[in-house]
Amino acid sequence: QQRFVIVGAGLAGAKAAEALREQGFDGRITLIGAEPHRPYERPPLSKGYLTGTTDRAGVFVHQEGWYADHDVELRLGVAATGLDRGAHRVELADGSAIDYDKLLLATGARPRKPPIPGADAPHVRYLRRIEDCESLKDVLGSVSRLAMIGAGWIGLEVTAAARQAGVAVTVLEAARLPLLRVLGPEAARIFADLHRDHGVDLRLGAAVSEITPSGVRLGDGGEIAADAVLVGVGAEPEVRLALSAGLHVDDGIVVDAALRTGDPDIVAAGDVANAYHPLLGRHVRVEHWANALKQPAVAAAAMLGRDAAYEELPYFYTDQYDLGMEYVGHVEPGGYDQVVFRGDVAAREFVAFWLSGDRVLAGMNVNVWDVVEPIKTLIRTGTPVTPQALADPSVPLEIL
The site for ligand FAD (CB under 6 A) is made up of: 7-13, 32-35, 42-43, 45-46, 79-80, 106-109, 127-128, 154, 238, 241, 270-271, 287-290, 292, 316-318
Question: CB of 108: closest distance to ligand FAD in angstroms?
Answer: 2
* CA pseudo-torsion sign 53, 55, 60, 61: negative
Nearer to ligand FAD, 286 or 400 (CB): 286
Q: How far apart are CA 188 and CA 179, in angstroms?
A: 6
Cβ atoms within 10 A of the Cβ of 378, count?
Answer: 24
Question: CB of 156: closest distance to ligand FAD in angstroms?
Answer: 11
* CA pseudo-torsion sign 357, 362, 366, 368: positive
Nearer to ligand FAD, 89 or 359 (CB): 89
Question: CB of 392: closest distance to ligand FAD in angstroms?
Answer: 30
Nearer to ligand FAD, 302 or 400 (CB): 302
Cβ-based neighbours of 140, under 8 Å, separated by 6 or more: 50, 146, 161, 162, 165, 167
Question: CB of 265: closest distance to ligand FAD in angstroms?
Answer: 17
Nearer to ligand FAD, 92 or 143 (CB): 92
Nearer to ligand FAD, 356 or 367 (CB): 367
Q: How far apart are CA 339 and CA 311, in angstroms?
A: 24
Question: CB of 114: closest distance to ligand FAD in angstroms?
Answer: 17
Nearer to ligand FAD, 18 or 287 (CB): 287
The radius of gyration of the chain's CA atoms, rounded to the nearest angstrom, is 22
Q: What is the DSSP string of 263-304?
A: STTEEE-GGGEEEEETTTTEEEE--SHHHHHHHHHHHHHHHT
Q: What is the DSSP string of 350-380?
A: EEEEEEETTEEEEEEEES--S-HHHHHHHHH
Side chain identity at residue 65, one-letter code = G
Cβ atoms within 10 A of the Cβ of 55, count?
Answer: 10
- For the chain, the helix, strand and coil percentages under 3-state DSSP, each to the nearest 5: 30, 30, 40
Q: Where on the phi/psi map is residue 201: left (φ > 0), alpha (ψ -120 to 50), or beta?
A: beta
Question: CB of 79: closest distance to ligand FAD in angstroms?
Answer: 4
Nearer to ligand FAD, 250 or 392 (CB): 250
Nearer to ligand FAD, 18 or 238 (CB): 238
Cβ-based neighbours of 162, under 8 Å, separated by 6 or more: 140, 146, 148, 169
- Asked if 267 and 302 count as a contact pair (C-beta separation under 8 A), the reply is yes
Q: What is the DSSP string of 158-177?
A: HHHHHHHTT-EEEEEESSSS
Nearer to ligand FAD, 301 or 400 (CB): 301
Question: CB of 8: closest distance to ligand FAD in angstroms?
Answer: 3
User: Dihedral (C-alpha) 278, 284, 288, 289: value to the nearest 10 degrees?
Assistant: 40
Nearer to ligand FAD, 81 or 209 (CB): 81
For residue 271, what are the CA distances in angstroms to 8, 54, 106, 232, 274?
Answer: 11, 24, 8, 16, 8
Question: CB of 234: closest distance to ligand FAD in angstroms?
Answer: 11
Q: How far apart are CA 215 and CA 172, in angstroms?
A: 12
Question: CB of 288: closest distance to ligand FAD in angstroms?
Answer: 3
Question: CB of 226: closest distance to ligand FAD in angstroms?
Answer: 20
